[in-house]
Amino acid sequence: MHEPERLPIQWPEPVQTLPVVQPTPPEPAPASGSGWLVPMIAGLLGASVAIGTVLVTGIGRPDEPVTERVTEVIRTEIVTPESVSANTLPAAVARRVVPSVVTVEVFSGPTLVGSGSGVIIDAENGYVATNEHVVKDNPSVGIVLADGRRYEGTVLGVDTLTDLAVVQIDAEALVAVERGSTDGLEVGDAAIAIGNPLGLLGGPTVTVGVLSAFNRLVEGDTPEDALYGMVQTDAPFTRGSSGGALVDAEGRLIGITTAVGVSDLGPEGLGFATPVEVMNRVTEEIIANGSSGHGFLGILGSTQLAAQPDGGQAPVGVLVSQLLDGSSAGASGILQGDVITTVDGRLVTTMEGLVSTLRRFGPGDLVDVEVERQGSAVEVTLELGAREENQ
């Protein structure tokens, strides 16, 4: 058996300086064929789009003092009536979440060169989660709150493997998003994306959709660019939305919007968000240490297929083909030829699924692993090692 063919991936070009001019009307889109689906980073710094061009105007550096002091901002409660119309729930969620979503502005000297989005995850300490590809290697960025207040933010650290970053601002009356979980959610459940696409003025943009899939692999030009375990949604978001919030029907954060799928015809309604469980661990480590590590089993493996009664084959786990020197898997008693079937109680059927599950854990974490060995189930508890950059 061979691995299924994967669609080609194209990551965005380096950021170009954004000129400050008046917007020009969009040009009509040229006729084109259907093309292949090409996932790309949603928040590419800069605001050009395939059809026409939108240019940011009148945005200066966030170092001027706020003239009006805001002392309190309160997150509204979501009140669900007995009969909820199609528009009632998204409006209630928007009122609750919008105060927690910010614009992240990137400057080159005094010039604004692009923008993305961010989510306030800690109001007391002023922590904002966003994407690594939004802040890049900048030590500081501008943060614009939903109510228009501006602050200079310090980039505490980034993690390229999960495309996450943390920015800190010194501000009062912040509203942190309520965090939820992807566990227990199903395909078809409501999903609402809130971000700041194209650097548009006037506050965050809200779009509504459903959860389309879980544990998606979004591949890049190299294996190091791949994003594992992504949540897929059809809630529309585009460039500048990177780092924004994907929330559930209760307004609870379930992901950080990171990438979109496009073809030569434009956006294809495929958006991808980093699960909140991964964001929680990575941002906590960045806040504590300035960087984040990743758990490592120390194996080489592949998806194991098993014959089915009807003559088909199905993935049933990960075959351990080699134990690396000093691996935590080998130290725990896992053997070459074992098939890993669960990690931390989570079913694992493919190699991609194993990597996605491990993204939730860091070096030194203890996890329970179940393997199938010659027809019998064997359970071990192991301490994860640290993933090196070339692994």
Q: Which of 133, 248, 327, 338 is catalytic?
A: 133
Is 242 within 8 Å of 233 (Cβ atoms)?
no
Does one domain contain both 376 and 314? Answer: yes
284 and 332 together in one domain: no
Assess if residue 68 is contained within a domain: no
The one catalytic residue in 100, 117, 163, 212 is 163
Per-residue pLDDT at 73:
53
In a domain, 141, yes or no: yes
Q: Note the pLDDT tens digit of each residue in 170-222.
A: 999 999 999 999 999 999 999 999 998 877 777 888 999 999 999 998 876 66
Each residue's pLDDT tens digit, 228-247: 999 999 988 877 889 999 99
Determine the residue type at 7: L
What pTM value is reported for the model? 0.76
Last residue of a domain, one of 277, 292, 307: 292
Tell me: do 220 and 97 sit in the same domain: yes
Note whether 279 and 337 are same-domain residues. Answer: no
163 given a catalytic annotation:
yes
331 shares a domain with 205: no
Looking at the structure, tell me whether residues 365 and 263 fall in a common domain. Answer: no
CATH, residue 121: 2.40.10.120
Q: What pLDDT does 195 receive?
A: 92
- Last residue in a domain, options 232, 263, 292: 292
Mean pLDDT along residues 299-328: 92
Domain limits at 307? 295-386
Stretch 39-67: mean pLDDT, rounded? 34
Residues 223 and 302 both lie in one domain: no
Q: Tell me whether residue 29 is in a domain.
A: no
Are 110 and 225 part of one and the same domain? yes
Residue 67 has a pLDDT of 37
Tell me, yes or no, if 122 is annotated catalytic. no
Give the pLDDT of residue 224: 72
3-class secondary structure for 244-306? CEEECCCCCEEEEEEEEEEECCEEEEEEEEEEHHHHHHHHHHHHHHCCCCCEECCEEEEEEEE
A 10 A CB-CB count for 7 gives 11
Which pLDDT belongs to residue 38?
35
Report how many domains make up the chain: 2
Say if 6 falls within a structural domain: no
CA angle (335, 377, 350) in 5-degree steps? 70
- Is the pLDDT confidence value at 262 over 90? no
Model pLDDT, residue 58: 29
Q: In the predicted model, is pLDDT for residue 158 greater than 50?
A: yes
Find the mean pLDDT for residues 23-51.
36
Q: Assess if residue 83 is contained within a domain.
A: no
Shared domain for 266 and 310, answered yes or no, is no
User: Do 268 and 307 belong together in one domain?
Assistant: no
Same domain as 278, residue 206: yes
Q: Which of 100, 115, 212, 242 is catalytic?
A: 242
Q: What CATH number has the domain bearing residue 318?
A: 2.30.42.10
pLDDT tens column, 71-110: 555 544 544 445 445 557 888 899 999 999 999 999 988 8
Q: What is the pLDDT of residue 387?
A: 82
Q: Of 262, 292, 322, which marks where a domain is finished?
A: 292
**Tens of pLDDT along 130-156?**
999 999 999 999 999 999 999 999 999
CA contacts within 13 A on the Cβ side of 71:
0
212 is catalytic: no
Residue 211 within any structural domain of the chain: yes
Residue 82 lies in a domain: no
- Per the prediction, the chain carries an average pLDDT of 79
Cα–chain center distance at 222 = 18
* Domain shared by 301 and 174, yes or no: no
